Amino acid sequence: MNATNRVVGRTALVLVGLALLVLGVGAILVQTLPWAATAWHERAGVLDALGADAPRETSVTAWTWVLGGAVVLGVLAIVVLSTLGGGRVGTVVEDDGSAGGVAGSVRIDAAAVQHALSSAIGAMPQVGSLAVDVFRVRGGRAIRIRVRPRRGASPRDITTGVEDIVADLDALLGDRLPVLLEIARGGAGSRRTDRVH
């Protein structure tokens, strides 16, 4: 649940992985096969086009490719860095009172909401363990509740109980926060899929 663009991240990982794979295979081929070493030495002469004694047309073409590649990498790095910063947050509600015309500010810490939800949901007999996190999603706040039920507990009963507790929290805060409820299935290493509500 963070703001990093998954497509950009996966594309960057694939490109870096392919580049490393090609470099690794190339290094092995150059070290083990004589024809590969010969071909490498012949093509390495192209790097002379970057030198001071190279002809102007060849030098311009070579530097254009180098600078173009650097610009593409720079733009990709800026896109990735600009999307970072999502994830967990320390506050759930921040209000300076300007909308209602009331002086003063209200700030509710994420730890208080996490503690309140953990205490209320943890008291349910169907719940074995749980984790509560607050995230920034599209400029707002969202709560993720991950519940591991006791053996034989009904997911429907857990969902209903959590919905009631979250409705009470919304009434207390005066605002509805998006909530992701994830009900984990089975013990550690279980292959059963989780349920998300």
Burial class (CB in 10 A: 0-12, 13-18, 19+), 113: buried
Q: Please tell me the total number of residues recorded for the chain in this structure.
A: 197
The pLDDT assigned to 176 comes to: 84
Give per-residue pLDDT as tens, 102-116: 677 777 888 888 888
3 state SS of 105 = coil
Pick the more confident residue, 13 or 19.
Answer: 19
Please enumerate in sequence order all residues whose Cβ is within 8 A of that of 130, keeping only pairs 6 or more positions apart, or say none. 118, 121, 122, 145, 146, 147, 148
Say what the pTM is.
0.52
Give per-residue pLDDT as tens, 55-93: 777 677 777 888 888 898 888 778 777 666 556 777 777
